[in-house]
Amino acid sequence: MSTNAIMKPFVNNNGTSREQLVEQRIATRQALNETLEYHRAMAPHGRDYQGGGDYERDRKVWMERHTVLQIIYQALEDEALFIHREEY
């Protein structure tokens, strides 16, 4: 899966309206923004690794996950802007 690719639907009379396509992406971004907030809150903290665990490894895993979420968040904005601006 390419996380930085955007979908580019072709707006037409038989399909979903441009407004709905954009709104779907906006709604998904809003939900994902909440997910990002929760994910930030669960970032590994050194105090949780005193006496054991692998803080550096877990921090790397957390960062990789967070990066994927951010890439998807941005791709949804790019898609919404593309759909909004596209003229057929």
Instruction: Read off the pLDDT of each residue in 42-53 and give the average, rounded to a whole number.
Output: 95
Distances, alpha carbon 40 to alpha carbons 8, 34, 66, 69, in Å? 30, 10, 8, 11
Question: 67 lies in a domain?
Answer: yes
pTM of the model: 0.86
Domain count, the chain: 1
Residue 11 counted as domain residue: no
66 is a domain residue = yes
In a domain, 36, yes or no: yes
Instruction: Give a yes or no: residue 7 inside a domain.
Output: no
State yes or no: pLDDT of 1 exceeds 60: no
> Is 88 a residue whose pLDDT tops 60?
no
Confidence of residue 19 (pLDDT cuts 50, 70, 90): very high
Q: Is residue 47 part of a domain?
A: yes
Residue 59's domain comprises 18-85
pLDDT over threshold 90, residue 4: no
- Whether 5 is in a domain gets the answer no
